[in-house]
Amino acid sequence: MENQTEIIRAEIPEVAAITRDECWLEGERRGHPVDPADVRVQQRVAELILNGVGLELRNHCVSSGGSQTRSDGEINLDFAAG
């Protein structure tokens, strides 16, 4: 099994992508940019991770040996849709 630190490091860009998406979505709701430290954004990211995406994220990072970044710099989260 991989070192836990390596797995967590592989998850960081994935969680950052989720946070960026939630900031954008909350900004659309409010009509202005929202900071990643916003309580609602942090709650939503935690909900997503705790409600299943976190397990999929961990399994994906363990099986692939790290995150999968597309050529445009965005993180591939297709595994979370299944």
| Per-residue pLDDT in tens (0 to 9) along the chain, 82 residues | 467 788 778 888 888 999 999 999 999 999 999 999 999 999 999 988 888 777 777 777 777 765 444 444 444 444 444 3
The separation between CA 56 and the C-alpha centre of its own chain, rounded to angstroms, equals 11
Looking at the structure of the chain, the number of domains it has is 1
Task: Give dist(CA 53, CA 33) in Å, integer.
Answer: 25
DSSP characters for 57-80?
HHHHHHHHTS--B-TTS-B--GGG
Residue 75 sits in which domain range?
4-81
- DSSP state for residue 3 in the 8-state scheme: -
